[in-house]
């Protein structure tokens, strides 16, 4: 249950090793989040991050196994386990995702399907039981890391963009379905963020940092927003780009 000041007390992160997620959790712990569950493909590698969070004031930090490619039953069991042992969870942060190899995914059906499964269907299968649990407890925020690339997929990374567009649409619809239940869904649309995911790539205009995205997430949770862009100016950039005619859009250097 969020405390008297509205701060998050407990958080479950799906994709617990994500740099954006860890930056967010660090800021949450500074503010008084006391229980953190980091669910990731290789939970042992998160031991240093867990120790850092404990040193910063978290009472309980757990690292559990989670793979978006696991089946529906494994996802349901993980969610049951976490909510069963920790009770109320105030925030579920869905951060897992892969950029993938666009050139390969555009021409190799297996690669394209793997990208869509990790970024979309695999996460949907974990989000549904989380949403059910949040609804049963009557409060909480489900925060989903989407991207501006999902708002209008670009030729250069449309498989990733399409997978995130699916996730974004699912999260929006779920948020509408849960309106009035006490559960909120926050869709986060960062632009280019300097993390492992973008290492070696040329930074896009308005590139930002995990810490800045973390601030946008925390502000979004506090304000009850449905959607946040990081940086906020991307909202206006995208509202223009969304309407650029396709013959022109496909010639833009991006
Ligand atoms: N960086 C950007 O420019 C940017 C922009 C917009 C949106 N985003 C989104 O923000 C989210 C976090 O990305 P990030 O920038 O923080 O990059 P990151 O540090 O690479 O985080 C991505 C995380 O996803 C995890 N992951 C990948 N495949 C998985 C799977 N099958 N099951 C479970 N976890 C899996 C990775 O785990 P491993 O450690 O096991 O590889 C990694 O911890 C992603 O959803 C991404 O699409 C990023």
Test site for ligand 1: of 16, 92, 94, 96, most ligand atoms within 8 A of the Cβ: 96
Test site for ligand 1: of 95, 202, 212, most ligand atoms within 8 A of the Cβ: 95
Task: List pLDDT tens digits, range 53-72.
Answer: 999 999 999 999 999 999 99
168, 148, 158, 163: which is closest to 102 by C-alpha?
Answer: 158
Q: Taking the domains of the chain in order of start, what are their residue ranges? A: 10-249
Q: pTM score > 0.95 for this model?
A: yes
The residues annotated as belonging to the active site are: 160
Task: List pLDDT tens digits, range 205-231.
Answer: 999 999 999 999 999 999 999 999 999
Q: What is the per-residue pLDDT for 44? A: 97
Residue nearest atom 11 in ligand 1 by C-alpha distance: 95
Q: What is the topology classification, in CATH, of domain 10-249? A: Rossmann fold (3.40.50)
30, 19, 26, 14: which is closest to 89 by C-alpha?
Answer: 14
What is the average per-residue pLDDT within 100-121?
96
Question: Do you find a cis peptide bond into 231, omega within 30 degrees of 0?
Answer: yes
With 80 as the cut, is the pLDDT of residue 254 above it? no
The rounded Cα 253 to chain-centroid distance in angstroms is 27
Q: How far apart are CA 88 and CA 190, in angstroms?
A: 28
Q: Which residues face 208 on adjacent strands?
A: 193
Task: List pLDDT tens digits, range 77-95.
Answer: 999 999 999 999 999 999 9
- 24 DSSP 8-state letter: H
The torsion defined by the Cα of 201, 228, 96 and 196, in degrees rounded to 10, comes to 30
């Amino acid at each position: 249950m969020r405390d008297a000041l509205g701060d998050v007390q407990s958080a479950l992160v799906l994709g617990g090793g994500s740099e954006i997620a860890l930056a967010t959790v660090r800021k949450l712990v500074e503010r008084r989040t006391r229980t953190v569950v980091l669910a990731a493909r290789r939970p042992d590698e998160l031991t240093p991050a867990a120790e850092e969070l404990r040193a910063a004031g978290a009472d309980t930090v757990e690292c559990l196994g989670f793979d978006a490619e696991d089946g529906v039953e494994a996802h349901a069991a993980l969610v049951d386990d976490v909510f069963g042992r920790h009770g109320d969870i105030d925030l579920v942060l869905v951060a897992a995702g892969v950029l993938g190899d666009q050139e390969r995914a555009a021409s190799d059906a297996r690669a394209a399907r793997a990208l869509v499964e990790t970024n979309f269907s695999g996460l949907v299968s974990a989000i549904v039981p989380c949403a059910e649990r949040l609804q049963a407890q009557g409060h909480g925020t489900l925060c989903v890391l989407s991207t501006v690339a999902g708002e209008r997929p670009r030729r250069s990374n449309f498989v990733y963009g399409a997978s995130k567009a699916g996730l974004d649409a699912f999260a929006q619809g779920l948020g509408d379905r849960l309106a009035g239940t006490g559960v909120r869904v926050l869709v986060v649309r960062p632009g280019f963020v300097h993390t492992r995911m973008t290492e070696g790539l040329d930074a896009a205009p308005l590139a930002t940092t995990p810490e800045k995205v973390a601030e946008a997430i925390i502000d979004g949770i506090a304000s009850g927003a449905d959607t946040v862009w990081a940086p906020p100016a991307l909202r206006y950039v995208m509202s223009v780009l969304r309407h650029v005619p396709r013959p022109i859009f496909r010639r833009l250097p991006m």
